Amino acid sequence: MELTTISLYTPEPGDVWEWPVISTEEPRKSPIGPSFNQRFHLAGAEADPDGRSVWLAAAFSVPGTFNKSAMTAAFRAFLARHSTLHSEFRPGSNTGELSRFIHKARVADPRKLPQNASTPAEMQNLLRRAIDDHCQAFRFPALRFLVIERPTESTVIAAFDHQHCDAYSITLAINELSHDYCAACNGHALNGDQVGDFLADTEHEATLPPPSRDDQRIQRWIEHLRHAGGTAPSFPLPLGTADNPAPQSDSTRQLLTAAEAQTCEDAFRAAGASMFTGLATALGTAIRRCGGSAAKTSSYLFTPGITKLPNALLGGTQTQSH
């Protein structure tokens, strides 16, 4: 698996095909609200509606021009298999409570996108815009299925807003899609494995009562906190081994006033990043200039980006730490 950001992903140009996901009837309001993690993501998007969308994407490559009917079958099976992808979230106008609406959705026939990307850099920008447009917290569908078609090798891309996936589940998604595509190409049955129903899990999660103090899980946390001096784990963590610990030291200093911090955040947002990714990049740059490793690292869950696996990519920041 190879990870990178959209700002570093430069695929060779080709014809870009899309498989639109369309709603075939008026969505119905669901009694199942967002999951705990979805609430966290959606609340952030609602609090910062002008911020950059948070999405992840993954891809795999196939030799030569791809098989359109097989690819269509794979995308359709994938959408039908995952009920959560039919969800649209809407903030309540009066209550402020987030509601889930379920669409009866299907994957339409592929269509070629009009584009004139003739260089890898232009293709990168085209992908960034295409995914930014669709993968947004309060949009349906908050995903996009694309293929870059070339004579020698084609690249299949599946992108999702963070409400639908994380860095782990997107690797499972691309694995499903690639297996289904290969199966359809060879006339075999598509993925028959049972996958979990995320909506059912979310509904079950909401019905669980708060655990009692006697719950074994709570007791383990109490014991852990007792050993930690009554506080949650903090960073930096000690290094070394149990026999030869190497404690880290840290200090806290105020570097910026509130006004200066706001100026920094404005500059980060103007560059297409967030305060978090801007600070992470500044920290990485400082470490590099002080003699740190030249290995490139990416912070990839906070602002839009793409990660290229040998045959796959994942979301990432548009800024980079070294």
- The predicted-structure confidence for 41-53, as pLDDT tens digits, reads as follows 898 888 877 777 7
- Residue 294: predicted pLDDT: 62
Q: What is the mean pLDDT of the chain?
A: 82
In this predicted model, what pLDDT tens digit does every residue of 122-140 receive, in sequence order? 999 999 999 999 999 999 9
**H or E stretch including 177?**
helix 169-185
Rg of the Cα trace of the chain?
A: 22
CA distance 95 to 87: 20
- Residue 40: predicted pLDDT: 85
pLDDT at 307 over 60: no
Top pLDDT among 313 and 237 is at: 237
What one-character DSSP code corresponds to residue 246?
E
Give the phi and the psi of residue 101 in degrees, each rounded to 5: -115, 140
In this predicted model, what pLDDT tens digit does every residue of 82-108 receive, in sequence order? 989 999 999 876 666 889 999 999 999
CA distance 175 to 160: 15
Range scoring the smallest mean pLDDT among 163-177, 238-252, 258-272? 238-252
- Residue 254: predicted pLDDT: 84
CB 299 within 8 A of CB 6: no
| Helix pair 169-185, 68-81: axis angle to 10 deg | 140
pTM given for the model: 0.70
**How much is the average pLDDT of 49-63?**
85
- Residue 157: predicted pLDDT: 94
